[in-house]
Structure 1
Amino acid sequence: MPMAIALTPRDQVAGHFGKAAAFAVYDQHGQFVIKIENAGSRELGCKHKKVIQRQLAEYGVSEIVLGNIGQRSLARLLNAGFKVSRVAPRTALNDVLTGSVDKEALTSAEQGRDCKREKGACGCGCGSKKKAPVAKVGMSSLAPMSGLAKIGGFKL
Protein backbone atom coordinates (compact mmCIF):
# COMPACT_ATOMS: atom_id res chain seq x y z
CA MET A 1 0.00 0.00 0.00
CA PRO A 2 1.76 3.17 -1.15
CA MET A 3 2.09 5.92 1.45
CA ALA A 4 2.57 9.69 1.10
CA ILE A 5 4.17 11.83 3.78
CA ALA A 6 3.52 15.59 3.93
CA LEU A 7 6.94 17.27 4.28
CA THR A 8 8.57 20.59 5.10
CA PRO A 9 11.54 21.81 3.02
CA ARG A 10 13.78 20.18 5.69
CA ASP A 11 12.22 16.72 5.18
CA GLN A 12 10.25 16.77 8.42
CA VAL A 13 6.54 16.02 8.71
CA ALA A 14 4.67 19.19 7.77
CA GLY A 15 2.50 20.85 10.37
CA HIS A 16 -0.47 21.13 7.99
CA PHE A 17 -1.64 19.18 4.94
CA GLY A 18 -2.35 22.15 2.67
CA LYS A 19 0.84 23.99 3.59
CA ALA A 20 3.24 21.08 3.12
CA ALA A 21 6.12 21.93 0.77
CA ALA A 22 5.95 18.48 -0.83
CA PHE A 23 4.62 14.95 -0.49
CA ALA A 24 7.07 12.06 -0.58
CA VAL A 25 5.49 8.88 -1.96
CA TYR A 26 6.80 5.46 -0.88
CA ASP A 27 5.70 2.05 -2.12
CA GLN A 28 4.55 -0.81 0.13
CA HIS A 29 8.19 -1.89 0.64
CA GLY A 30 9.30 1.54 1.83
CA GLN A 31 11.08 2.39 -1.41
CA PHE A 32 10.94 6.03 -2.53
CA VAL A 33 8.74 6.54 -5.62
CA ILE A 34 8.40 10.31 -6.21
CA LYS A 35 8.31 13.67 -4.50
CA ILE A 36 5.26 15.74 -5.44
CA GLU A 37 5.89 19.46 -4.96
CA ASN A 38 3.00 21.49 -3.54
CA ALA A 39 3.10 24.56 -5.76
CA GLY A 40 0.05 26.02 -4.04
CA SER A 41 1.28 25.77 -0.45
CA ARG A 42 1.04 29.54 0.01
CA GLU A 43 -2.38 29.90 -1.62
CA LEU A 44 -5.68 30.37 0.14
CA GLY A 45 -8.57 28.13 -0.79
CA CYS A 46 -8.95 24.49 -1.64
CA LYS A 47 -8.03 24.28 -5.32
CA HIS A 48 -4.40 23.26 -4.74
CA LYS A 49 -5.48 20.70 -2.12
CA LYS A 50 -7.76 19.05 -4.66
CA VAL A 51 -4.86 18.94 -7.13
CA ILE A 52 -2.67 17.23 -4.52
CA GLN A 53 -5.41 14.72 -3.79
CA ARG A 54 -5.73 13.88 -7.48
CA GLN A 55 -1.95 13.47 -7.87
CA LEU A 56 -1.72 11.19 -4.83
CA ALA A 57 -4.57 9.07 -6.20
CA GLU A 58 -2.76 8.79 -9.56
CA TYR A 59 0.22 7.20 -7.78
CA GLY A 60 -2.06 4.75 -5.97
CA VAL A 61 -1.43 6.25 -2.52
CA SER A 62 -3.66 4.68 0.12
CA GLU A 63 -2.26 6.31 3.28
CA ILE A 64 -1.29 9.92 3.96
CA VAL A 65 0.85 10.82 6.99
CA LEU A 66 0.77 14.42 8.16
CA GLY A 67 1.00 16.72 11.16
CA ASN A 68 -2.43 18.38 11.06
CA ILE A 69 -5.30 18.87 8.66
CA GLY A 70 -8.50 20.90 8.52
CA GLN A 71 -11.88 19.28 8.93
CA ARG A 72 -13.07 19.86 5.35
CA SER A 73 -9.84 18.59 3.79
CA LEU A 74 -9.88 15.56 6.08
CA ALA A 75 -13.48 14.80 5.15
CA ARG A 76 -12.60 15.06 1.45
CA LEU A 77 -9.66 12.66 1.81
CA LEU A 78 -11.60 10.14 3.91
CA ASN A 79 -14.52 10.21 1.44
CA ALA A 80 -12.05 9.54 -1.39
CA GLY A 81 -10.88 6.37 0.40
CA PHE A 82 -7.53 7.54 1.79
CA LYS A 83 -6.32 6.35 5.18
CA VAL A 84 -5.07 9.44 7.03
CA SER A 85 -2.63 9.30 9.96
CA ARG A 86 -1.29 12.04 12.19
CA VAL A 87 2.13 12.24 13.83
CA ALA A 88 3.75 15.11 15.69
CA PRO A 89 4.66 17.99 13.35
CA ARG A 90 8.39 18.20 12.52
CA THR A 91 8.90 14.49 13.10
CA ALA A 92 11.92 13.30 11.13
CA LEU A 93 11.08 11.52 7.87
CA ASN A 94 13.28 8.57 8.81
CA ASP A 95 11.35 8.07 12.08
CA VAL A 96 8.11 7.75 10.12
CA LEU A 97 9.65 5.33 7.62
CA THR A 98 11.13 3.10 10.33
CA GLY A 99 7.91 3.10 12.33
CA SER A 100 9.56 4.47 15.47
CA VAL A 101 6.74 7.02 16.00
CA ASP A 102 3.14 6.35 16.89
CA LYS A 103 0.63 7.24 14.20
CA GLU A 104 -2.86 8.34 15.18
CA ALA A 105 -5.48 7.17 12.68
CA LEU A 106 -7.88 9.94 11.68
CA THR A 107 -11.21 8.32 10.89
CA SER A 108 -13.71 11.19 11.04
CA ALA A 109 -13.67 14.81 9.91
CA GLU A 110 -14.20 16.03 13.48
CA GLN A 111 -10.64 14.95 14.29
CA GLY A 112 -9.35 17.67 11.96
CA ARG A 113 -8.69 21.25 12.99
CA ASP A 114 -11.49 23.81 12.87
CA CYS A 115 -11.32 26.21 9.95
CA LYS A 116 -10.06 29.62 11.06
CA ARG A 117 -12.24 31.33 8.49
CA GLU A 118 -15.99 31.24 8.19
CA LYS A 119 -17.35 28.58 5.85
CA GLY A 120 -16.63 29.50 2.28
CA ALA A 121 -14.50 32.53 3.20
CA CYS A 122 -11.41 30.90 1.74
CA GLY A 123 -12.67 31.99 -1.65
CA CYS A 124 -12.98 28.58 -3.26
CA GLY A 125 -16.69 28.05 -2.68
CA CYS A 126 -16.16 24.97 -0.52
CA GLY A 127 -18.32 26.24 2.31
CA SER A 128 -22.02 26.87 2.53
CA LYS A 129 -24.20 28.57 -0.04
CA LYS A 130 -23.19 32.02 -1.16
CA LYS A 131 -24.52 34.82 0.99
CA ALA A 132 -26.92 37.40 -0.39
CA PRO A 133 -25.17 40.64 -1.39
CA VAL A 134 -25.07 43.29 1.28
CA ALA A 135 -27.55 46.11 0.63
CA LYS A 136 -25.92 49.50 0.16
CA VAL A 137 -27.37 52.96 0.66
CA GLY A 138 -29.49 53.85 -2.34
CA MET A 139 -30.11 50.25 -3.37
CA SER A 140 -33.66 49.06 -3.62
CA SER A 141 -34.57 45.95 -1.69
CA LEU A 142 -37.07 45.12 -4.43
CA ALA A 143 -36.31 42.52 -7.05
CA PRO A 144 -34.42 43.86 -10.08
CA MET A 145 -36.69 45.46 -12.65
CA SER A 146 -35.11 44.06 -15.77
CA GLY A 147 -37.43 43.54 -18.68
CA LEU A 148 -39.62 46.53 -17.91
CA ALA A 149 -39.91 49.03 -20.71
CA LYS A 150 -42.47 51.46 -19.28
CA ILE A 151 -43.55 52.59 -15.86
CA GLY A 152 -46.58 54.88 -15.70
CA GLY A 153 -46.17 56.03 -19.28
CA PHE A 154 -42.44 56.82 -18.93
CA LYS A 155 -39.90 54.91 -20.98
CA LEU A 156 -36.98 53.44 -19.09
Structure 2
Amino acid sequence: MSVAIAVTPNHEVAGHFGKAAGFVVYDGQGKLVAELINQGRKAVGCKHKKQLQSQLAAHNVKTLLLGNVGQRSLARLLGAGFEVFRVPNRAPLQDVLMGKVTREPLLSAEQGRPCKREKGACGCGCGSKKTVKPAKIGMTVSANANLQGLAKIGGFKL
Protein backbone atom coordinates (compact mmCIF):
# COMPACT_ATOMS: atom_id res chain seq x y z
CA MET A 1 0.00 0.00 0.00
CA SER A 2 1.45 3.34 -1.09
CA VAL A 3 0.93 6.95 -0.05
CA ALA A 4 0.91 9.84 -2.54
CA ILE A 5 1.38 13.50 -1.69
CA ALA A 6 0.37 16.31 -4.04
CA VAL A 7 3.37 18.65 -4.32
CA THR A 8 4.48 21.99 -5.76
CA PRO A 9 7.69 22.33 -7.79
CA ASN A 10 9.41 23.22 -4.47
CA HIS A 11 8.25 19.93 -2.89
CA GLU A 12 5.72 21.52 -0.58
CA VAL A 13 2.12 20.33 -0.27
CA ALA A 14 0.18 21.60 -3.26
CA GLY A 15 -2.88 23.75 -2.70
CA HIS A 16 -5.14 21.73 -5.01
CA PHE A 17 -5.29 18.17 -6.37
CA GLY A 18 -5.80 19.01 -10.05
CA LYS A 19 -3.30 21.87 -10.08
CA ALA A 20 -0.46 20.11 -8.27
CA ALA A 21 2.86 20.07 -10.13
CA GLY A 22 3.09 16.39 -9.36
CA PHE A 23 2.76 13.62 -6.83
CA VAL A 24 5.44 11.84 -4.83
CA VAL A 25 4.61 8.22 -4.06
CA TYR A 26 6.03 6.44 -1.00
CA ASP A 27 5.69 2.79 0.00
CA GLY A 28 4.65 1.60 3.46
CA GLN A 29 8.24 1.88 4.76
CA GLY A 30 8.58 5.52 3.67
CA LYS A 31 10.78 4.80 0.65
CA LEU A 32 10.25 6.98 -2.44
CA VAL A 33 8.69 4.80 -5.16
CA ALA A 34 7.84 7.29 -7.90
CA GLU A 35 7.45 10.94 -8.81
CA LEU A 36 4.48 11.57 -11.07
CA ILE A 37 4.30 14.77 -13.10
CA ASN A 38 0.89 16.36 -13.59
CA GLN A 39 1.02 17.09 -17.32
CA GLY A 40 -2.46 18.66 -17.37
CA ARG A 41 -2.23 20.94 -14.36
CA LYS A 42 -3.01 24.02 -16.45
CA ALA A 43 -5.74 22.28 -18.44
CA VAL A 44 -9.39 23.12 -18.05
CA GLY A 45 -11.73 20.22 -17.42
CA CYS A 46 -11.60 16.88 -15.70
CA LYS A 47 -9.85 14.60 -18.18
CA HIS A 48 -6.38 15.06 -16.66
CA LYS A 49 -7.75 14.47 -13.15
CA LYS A 50 -9.11 11.11 -14.23
CA GLN A 51 -5.71 10.30 -15.73
CA LEU A 52 -4.03 11.23 -12.44
CA GLN A 53 -6.36 8.90 -10.59
CA SER A 54 -5.41 6.07 -12.97
CA GLN A 55 -1.70 6.76 -12.51
CA LEU A 56 -2.06 6.75 -8.73
CA ALA A 57 -4.01 3.49 -8.82
CA ALA A 58 -1.33 1.95 -11.06
CA HIS A 59 1.23 2.67 -8.32
CA ASN A 60 -1.01 0.95 -5.75
CA VAL A 61 -1.72 4.23 -3.95
CA LYS A 62 -4.40 3.87 -1.29
CA THR A 63 -3.80 7.08 0.69
CA LEU A 64 -3.65 10.56 -0.79
CA LEU A 65 -2.46 13.69 1.05
CA LEU A 66 -3.24 17.11 -0.43
CA GLY A 67 -4.09 20.71 0.36
CA ASN A 68 -7.51 20.91 -1.27
CA VAL A 69 -9.63 19.04 -3.76
CA GLY A 70 -12.84 19.80 -5.61
CA GLN A 71 -16.07 18.09 -4.68
CA ARG A 72 -16.36 16.11 -7.92
CA SER A 73 -12.76 14.94 -7.84
CA LEU A 74 -13.10 14.00 -4.18
CA ALA A 75 -16.26 12.01 -4.89
CA ARG A 76 -14.47 10.18 -7.71
CA LEU A 77 -11.42 9.43 -5.50
CA LEU A 78 -13.52 8.23 -2.56
CA GLY A 79 -15.64 6.10 -4.89
CA ALA A 80 -12.47 4.46 -6.22
CA GLY A 81 -11.43 3.47 -2.69
CA PHE A 82 -8.77 6.10 -1.94
CA GLU A 83 -8.34 7.44 1.59
CA VAL A 84 -7.98 11.22 1.20
CA PHE A 85 -6.53 13.55 3.82
CA ARG A 86 -6.23 17.33 3.84
CA VAL A 87 -2.97 18.72 5.19
CA PRO A 88 -1.88 22.39 5.40
CA ASN A 89 -1.01 24.01 2.06
CA ARG A 90 2.69 24.70 1.51
CA ALA A 91 3.70 22.41 4.38
CA PRO A 92 7.22 21.10 3.76
CA LEU A 93 7.28 17.55 2.45
CA GLN A 94 9.60 16.41 5.27
CA ASP A 95 7.13 17.63 7.92
CA VAL A 96 4.35 15.65 6.26
CA LEU A 97 6.49 12.51 6.06
CA MET A 98 7.53 12.79 9.73
CA GLY A 99 3.91 13.29 10.88
CA LYS A 100 4.46 16.85 12.11
CA VAL A 101 1.33 18.17 10.39
CA THR A 102 -2.32 17.46 11.11
CA ARG A 103 -4.25 15.24 8.72
CA GLU A 104 -7.94 15.92 8.28
CA PRO A 105 -9.74 12.89 6.81
CA LEU A 106 -12.05 13.74 3.91
CA LEU A 107 -14.89 11.24 4.06
CA SER A 108 -17.56 12.80 1.84
CA ALA A 109 -17.62 14.88 -1.33
CA GLU A 110 -19.17 17.83 0.52
CA GLN A 111 -15.86 18.32 2.32
CA GLY A 112 -14.24 19.23 -1.00
CA ARG A 113 -14.05 22.67 -2.47
CA PRO A 114 -17.17 23.68 -4.48
CA CYS A 115 -16.65 24.24 -8.20
CA LYS A 116 -16.02 27.91 -8.99
CA ARG A 117 -17.53 27.54 -12.43
CA GLU A 118 -21.16 26.94 -13.21
CA LYS A 119 -22.07 23.28 -13.34
CA GLY A 120 -20.51 21.76 -16.42
CA ALA A 121 -18.83 25.01 -17.52
CA CYS A 122 -15.37 23.53 -17.07
CA GLY A 123 -15.65 22.36 -20.64
CA CYS A 124 -15.59 18.64 -20.04
CA GLY A 125 -19.31 18.20 -19.56
CA CYS A 126 -19.09 16.77 -16.06
CA GLY A 127 -22.11 17.54 -13.97
CA SER A 128 -24.09 18.93 -16.86
CA LYS A 129 -27.20 17.38 -18.29
CA LYS A 130 -27.69 16.95 -21.99
CA THR A 131 -30.32 19.35 -23.28
CA VAL A 132 -32.83 18.32 -25.88
CA LYS A 133 -32.60 20.51 -28.93
CA PRO A 134 -35.95 21.95 -30.03
CA ALA A 135 -37.44 20.68 -33.28
CA LYS A 136 -37.05 22.82 -36.38
CA ILE A 137 -39.11 23.06 -39.53
CA GLY A 138 -38.15 20.32 -41.95
CA MET A 139 -37.02 17.89 -39.25
CA THR A 140 -38.70 14.56 -38.81
CA VAL A 141 -39.97 14.29 -35.28
CA SER A 142 -40.33 11.30 -33.06
CA ALA A 143 -43.14 10.78 -30.58
CA ASN A 144 -41.15 12.28 -27.68
CA ALA A 145 -39.71 15.26 -29.60
CA ASN A 146 -39.64 18.66 -28.00
CA LEU A 147 -41.81 21.05 -30.02
CA GLN A 148 -41.16 23.95 -27.70
CA GLY A 149 -40.42 27.18 -29.51
CA LEU A 150 -42.59 26.35 -32.53
CA ALA A 151 -45.81 28.31 -32.48
CA LYS A 152 -46.84 28.28 -36.13
CA ILE A 153 -46.09 26.16 -39.16
CA GLY A 154 -47.29 27.63 -42.44
CA GLY A 155 -49.98 29.69 -40.75
CA PHE A 156 -51.29 26.81 -38.61
CA LYS A 157 -51.03 27.12 -34.85
CA LEU A 158 -49.64 24.18 -32.96
1:78 aligns to 2:78 (yes or no):
yes
% identity of equivalent residues: 60
1:35 aligns to 2:35 (yes or no):
yes
Deviations 1:116-147 (A, max 9, x none): 011111011111203456xxxxxxx6445235
**In the alignment, which residue of structure 2 is the partner of 1:87?**
87
Which whole-Å CA distance do the structure 2 matches of 1:25 and 1:53 have between them?
Answer: 13
Equivalenced residue count is 143
SS at match of 1:113: coil
Amino acid across the alignment from 2:82: F
Which whole-Å CA distance do the structure 1 matches of 2:47 and 2:119 have between them?
Answer: 15
Deviations 1:51-95 (A, max 9, x none): 000000001000000000000000000000000000110000001
1:7 aligns to 2:4 (yes or no):
no
Which whole-Å CA distance do the structure 1 matches of 2:137 and 2:98 have between them?
Answer: 64
Unmatched tracts of structure 2, length 5 or more: 141-152
1:124 aligns to 2:124 (yes or no):
yes
Which whole-Å CA distance do the structure 2 matches of 1:38 and 1:74 have between them?
Answer: 17
Correspondences of 1:14-33 after superposition (within 5 Å): 14-33=14-33
Which whole-Å CA distance do the structure 2 matches of 1:64 and 1:9 have between them?
Answer: 18
**In the alignment, which residue of structure 1 is the partner of 2:57?**
57
SS at match of 1:62: strand
**In the alignment, which residue of structure 2 is the partner of 1:110?**
110
